[in-house]
C-alpha cells in the first residue's frame, strides 16, 4: 500500500469524522490503529476501506459516548471484521499519548487550528499534553 493511498484514506476518515462531529482524538486513534495494521501487513487494495472503517469504529467505541455509522461499508461487514482486527491490534485499544499525539497535532494543522490553544488547560497554565508526559517535537 502506497503512502498516497494511506494519506487519502486518512483524509477520508478525517472528513467523515468532522461531518459526524466526532472528537478529533477519536480520528487520531483510528489513524494509529490503521497504521499498526499496515505495519502488520493486514491491509491490501481490496480491504483497505473496510479496515479503515473498522479502525474508526473501534476508536469510536473507545473514545466516544455514542456509536456512529461508518461510510461505504455495511454494519454487517464491520461486525464480521471487527474481532479479527481487534485481535491483530493485540486486544489493546488504549494507545499511549506518544503514539497518537503526533496524529492529533497533524489533524489540527490540516484544519488550520492551533493545537496549543485547543489543548490549553486553564487551571494549570500548561498544555494538556504536558500532563500526559508528551513533549511536542
Give yes or no for a contact between 1 and 48, defined as CB atoms under 8 angstroms apart.
yes
pLDDT tens, position by position, 96-112: 888 878 888 888 888 87
Is there a single domain that holds both residue 34 and residue 90? yes
Is there a single domain that holds both residue 91 and residue 43? yes
**Mean pLDDT of the residues in the chain:** 77
Is there a single domain that holds both residue 13 and residue 59? yes
- What 3-state class would DSSP assign to 40? coil
Stretch 1-17: mean pLDDT:
89
Is there a single domain that holds both residue 53 and residue 109? no
Is there a single domain that holds both residue 9 and residue 49? yes
Is there a single domain that holds both residue 67 and residue 125? no
Is there a single domain that holds both residue 30 and residue 8? yes
pLDDT band at 12 (very low <50, low <70, confident <90, very high): very high
Stretch 77-85: mean pLDDT:
80
Domain ranges, residue 120: 96-137
Number of domains the chain is built from: 2
Mean pLDDT lowest for which of 6-10, 67-71, 76-80, 109-113? Answer: 67-71
Mean pLDDT lowest for which of 29-43, 46-60, 85-99? Answer: 85-99
**Cβ neighbours around 123 below 10 Å, total:** 5
Is there a single domain that holds both residue 110 and residue 76? no
Mean pLDDT lowest for which of 2-6, 38-42, 71-75, 120-124? Answer: 120-124
Is there a single domain that holds both residue 37 and residue 64? yes
Is there a single domain that holds both residue 101 and residue 88? no
Is there a single domain that holds both residue 61 and residue 13? yes
Element (H, E) at 53: helix 48-63
Stretch 29-39: mean pLDDT:
92
Cα–Cα distance for residue pair 25/40, rounded to 1 Å:
23
Q: Indicate which CATH number applies to the domain containing 59.
A: 1.10.472.10
Give yes or no for a contact between 38 and 1, defined as CB atoms under 8 angstroms apart.
yes
Selection from 46-50, 69-73, 81-85 with the highest mean pLDDT: 46-50
Is there a single domain that holds both residue 71 and residue 131? no
**Cβ neighbours around 129 below 10 Å, total:** 19
Task: Determine whether 70 is exposed, middle or buried from the number of CB atoms within 10 Å of its CB (0-12, 13-18, 19+).
Answer: buried
Amino acid at each position: 500500500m502506497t503512502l498516497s493511498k494511506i494519506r487519502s484514506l486518512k483524509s477520508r476518515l478525517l472528513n467523515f469524522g468532522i461531518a459526524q462531529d466526532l472528537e478529533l482524538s477519536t480520528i487520531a486513534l483510528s489513524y494509529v490503529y490503521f497504521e499498526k495494521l499496515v505495519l502488520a501487513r493486514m491491509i491490501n487494495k481490496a480491504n483497505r476501506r473496510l479496515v479503515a472503517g473498522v479502525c474508526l469504529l473501534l476508536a469510536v467505541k473507545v473514545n466516544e459516548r455514542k456509536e456512529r455509522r461508518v461510510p461505504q461499508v455495511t454494519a454487517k461487514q464491520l461486525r464480521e471484521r471487527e474481532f479479527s482486527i481487534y485481535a491483530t491490534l493485540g486486544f489493546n485499544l488504549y494507545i499511549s499519548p506518544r503514539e497518537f499525539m503526533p496524529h492529533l497535532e497533524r489533524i489540527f494543522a490540516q484544519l488550520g487550528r492551533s493545537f496549543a490553544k485547543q489543548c490549553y488547560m486553564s487551571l494549570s497554565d500548561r498544555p494538556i499534553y504536558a500532563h500526559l508526559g508528551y513533549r511536542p517535537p
